[in-house]
Every structure is written in structure tokens, then in C-alpha cells.
Chain A
Amino acid sequence: MALIRRAGARFIPCAALVLVPLILASVAEGTVSIGLGDTLRVLFDALGLGSAEGVPRAFQIIILEARLPRAVLFLLVGGALAVSGVTLQSTFQNAMAAPSILGISGGAALGAVIAIYTGVADRCAPVLPAAAFAGALAAMTLVYVLAHLGGRPSPTSLVLTGIAVGSLALAGVTLIMLWAQEYRMKEVLVWTMGGKEEISWAEVLLACGPVLLGAVLLCLRHRFIDALSLGEEHALSVGVPVERVRCTLMLLCALASGAAVSVAGTIGFVGLIVPHVVRLAIGPRARTLLPASFLVGGGFLVLCDLLARVLSSPLRFLPVGIVTSVAGVPFFLWLLYRARRLEA
């Protein structure tokens, strides 16, 4: 365990260092491949540290206006989903907990799909993320209120209520997809798979505030998250006001992951897989697990997006949500297998 503790201290700077080549690769590669030298020249020029002379103007636009905001956004989104996953798994002592289980992803999807179906999303750019964010918050509020009907709920009943509300929201999404005109249906389908093709700096800025605020505030509550991991009675006995802290943590998860999903679409498995992978590497203490998961979650999503873009062709677009799910399903099954083996 001492080794794991030391690994935790080293893991965070290492993960941060790995992000640099990952982001560079994400910015340089895609359907059009730009050399590393040109990519670095453009980035240094943008930072005022060099000149991009000789680099085609089209490459500069691709790097600065298309790929860099995309990489930054997916870094934030992956980070937010992973940090929320860590928090929810610890708070509810449930290894299968993720932002989707509290209805956050389902609610965001329903909000976004309603905005697309009714056409209000076409009016101006921030309407779609705003609708998705409102959907995420509404779903989480509904979960909280329904779970508290008839008294203080157990973690299990909160999780089950979240699953029920999430299923209801996804039923709404499916119904709207059935009713939607064909061109809208494709738009809805792509959004629900995290398949936004174009991402602007405006969307990055929109997500940046709530994601970073939510993630930082969650990291600052690492001691409460650890205490809740031991169970409600243990947390109460060391002075954690369980109900209030749990409500605050859920709100912060909704803020971070709701904002992430609202701009990038629903992306499965990041919030579930990454916390488990990082926990295996550096142990379960929230103090290191939360920031490490943010970096790994962000890096994982940047990598999945890079894979999705490299494997896509102009005629066959591959949403990032498909790549994360393909990577996530085997891991999810392995988790179930491991849990059964431990029980045996």
C-alpha cells in the first residue's frame, strides 16, 4: 500500500505529462494529417512564442478553429465524467455508479433532443447546451425528490430511482426519435452518441466554467467522499452531515457532468471505466483518485476522439460515443466477472 501511495503521488504529474503528446497527436491527426512540426509552429505562433510562416492557412484554421477546441473540450468532458463517476461510486458505495445512473445523462439527452425536435436549437448556438443542462438538472432534482418520498433513502434506493428516471428519459428520447423527421432523427442520434462534428471555442468556454468549478469543488471534498465510502454510519460518526454532503456532491456532479454532456452529447462508460482503472493503479483515496481520474478521463476521451476521427471517412462518420462504448463493454464485463469471482 505504501507503494500505491507513492505511485499516487507520481501518477498525477505523469498523467499530466502524457496529456501533452496526446493533445498534440489529436491536433495533428484526423482526416487531414498535419505534420508535428507544422502543428507545433502553429501552436507556438498562437502563444506568441514563434512564427507559423510557411504553414498553409488551411492548416492553421484546422488546428486553431477545429481540432484544438475539440481536444480541449473532450479533455474537460472526459475529466468531468470521470470525476463524477469517482464521486458517485464512493458516495453510493456502488461500483456500477456513473453520471448516467442518476439520470444526469438521460435528462441531458432528453433536454437536447426536445430542443432539436422543436427546432429551438437552430435559433442560436447556446440553446442546445442550455436545454441539455436544464434536462440534466431537472432529472437529478426529480431523482432526489422521488427518492426522498417517504423518508431518508438508502444509497441503493437513490441509485434505483436514478436508473428509473434515466430509463424514463431515454424512453422519451426514443419516442421523439420515432416522431422526428428523418433529417432531425439523424441529428438526434448523432448527439446521443457524443458525435458532434464541429466544436467551437464558444462551446468550450460555455462548458469550461461549470466543469472546472464542479471538478475543483469535488476535489476539495475528498475527505467527505472517503468517509462516505466507509458507509453512512461511519461517516456520521466522524462528523460528516451525510444528507447535506450527499446532496451537495450530487449537485456538483450534475453541474460538472451536466455541463459536459450538454456540449458534447451523451458519452457512455467514461464515468464508469476510468475511476476503476485509476483506482486499480493508485488506490481508492479520493485525494489523489479525483485529480488523477480527471486527467485520465480527459486523456481517454481525447484518445477515443482521435481514434474516431482517424477511423471516420467523409461518408462514414464515427461518433466518439461508439469508440468509448466499444472500449467500455469488455471492461464492464470484466468487472462483473471479477465481482462474481470475489463473491465466490
Chain B
Amino acid sequence: MSALLSANGAGYAVSGRALLSGIDLAFPQGSMSAIVGPNGSGKTTLLRLLAGVRAPTCGRVLLEGRRLARFRRTEVAARLSYVPQNTWTDFEITVFDAVAMGRLPKVGAWRALRRADFDAIHRALERLDLQDLRERTLPTLSAGERQRVFIARALAQGAGILLLDEPTSSLDIGHQLVLMAMLEELHAEGKTIVAAMHDLGLVWSTFPRAVLLDRGRMAGDGATRDVLLGAAAAAAFAVRLSAGADGRLLAER
């Protein structure tokens, strides 16, 4: 499979301090990958580079074989939707309007929303269990509800690639499992999914591939089982990871 999204020697530095360096990664069409690593390992920075919201200070990021920076922003958003980690806002927009914003790459500045746009918005609201909240404003929602709103917006965008930064960090256990099932469905529909994840249990049970980051560098990339049970993961997280008799991931210090 050819890479739909890739990073070639990509790195990012602030005031001369490298937050991320030497990242070589390829995400083929229809793949489902988790980016894992301890706090401060560069997961969010990597997703920002892949989403094009930050430009790499060295190396490059390619989308469909072309430098991401060469695409217009609407062209990027038509191909790739990104859900940032920070969902707090005091902008008193309704859930419906926030999800409808996902249609911006399709409708542009002036065109009115059409039936297809409304259908995409309603499907996304339904999928994320947000129908009852559609008239509530974002500042009145809990962090988990806001997280679901922005995931719904990404779905309404209808892009082939979904980049999610800690999508389960504020979700209750029920919604975590619903989200993982939904990501599997989207994967089965042919979407390319890349998610930065903290919960290694969910990564273990859902993602076929894991990319391990440690102190801004790649420490592993491959089948989730191999990466998480490898020595690099144990060193990065300072824990011993093993597969339990019931097939679940176990961690001990």
C-alpha cells in the first residue's frame, strides 16, 4: 500500500530546543494507527505536524505524495480532519452549529448548507450520541461532551483521514468503548485513522498498529503487540507490560 500521509525526517523545534526529531512514518490508506508514548514524548506535536497546523522545522510531511505545505488549507481539510486535544472554549455556539462547521471545506464562505450537508451533520450527531444536546452551547457542556462534539465535527467533514489527539481523555468508560467501536467501523469503511492515545489498554484492544515515541524520537513502530511488549515501551513508560492469560494488557512497575 502506498502512503497516504507520511513524515520524512520530520522534526519540530522551538527556540532551538527540539520537541520532535527524525520522524519517518508512513500511513497507508485505510490504516489504523495509535501514537503512544509517555507525557512530553511529542505525540501532540507529531499530530500537529501531520495535520499541518504546525510546519516542521526540518524534514517534511507529505499528503498523497505532495508536500502538505503546498496544499491550500481547504484542500487539506477536505482530505484530513483533525480533532485537537484542547476542546475548552467560551464561544457560546450550539452543538449543532459547531458540528456544522465541519462542512466549511465543502460549502466555503458563502454557499448555503444543502440537504447533503444537513444529512452529514445529523449522521455525525447521531453517531456521537449528541442529538439531545444539539441546542446546548459548548461552554455549558462537560469536557467529555465537548470532545464528542469535535469528533462529530470531524466526521461531518467527511475527510478520508482522521487525526485524533487523545480522543478518549475526557470520556467516561461507556463513551470510550462506543468511540473505539466507531473508529473500528470507520476503519472498516476505509478511513485512515491516526490517534494519539494515553490508554494503552484501548490501544491494545483496538489498534492494529502502534507508533511509540520517547523524548521526541521514534522508539518503535509496528504491530501493537510487538511495540507494547517490546523493551523500548518498557523503558519509555518505566513499567513492565505483558499479555495476561485472558489476552488483556497488564502493566506492573
Contact = CB atoms under 8 A, between A and B. Distances in A.
Interface of A: 1-2, 5, 93, 220-221, 223-224, 226-227, 229-234, 236-242, 283-285
B9 interface: no
B91 A230 contact: yes
Given A2-B135, A283-B92, A285-B93, A227 B73 contact: no
Contact of A221 (B82, B83, B109): B109
A226 B101 contact: yes
Interface string B51-73: 11100000000000000000011
Interface in B150-183: 150, 153-154, 157
Given A1-B135, A224-B109, 9 more contacts: A223-B101, A229-B93, A230-B89, A233-B86, A234-B150, A237-B81, A237-B82, A237-B83, A239-B78
B248 interface: no
Contacts of A93: 91
A226 B150 CA distance: 15
Contacts of A239: 73-74, 76-78, 104-105
Contacts of B157: 238
Given A284-B91, A284-B93, A285-B97, A238 B86 contact: no
Interface of B: 48, 51-53, 72-74, 76-78, 81-84, 86, 89, 91-94, 97-98, 101-102, 104-105, 107, 109-110, 135-137, 150, 153-154, 157
A5 B134 CA distance: 13
Nearest to A222: B109
A220 B109 contact: yes
A223 B117 CA distance: 15
**Which 6 interchain pairs have the tightest Cβ spacing?**
A239-B77, A239-B105, A239-B74, A237-B82, A241-B73, A229-B91
Nearest to A242: B73
Contacts of B78: 239
A287 to B, nearest CB: 9
A283 B104 CA distance: 20
Given A1-B135, A223-B104, A231-B86, A237 B77 contact: yes
A240 B97 contact: no
A227 B98 CA distance: 9
B92 A227 contact: no
Contact of A236 (B53, B91, B135): B53
A232 B154 CA distance: 16
B158 to A, nearest CB: 12
A234 B84 contact: yes
A242 B83 CA distance: 17
B135 A233 contact: no
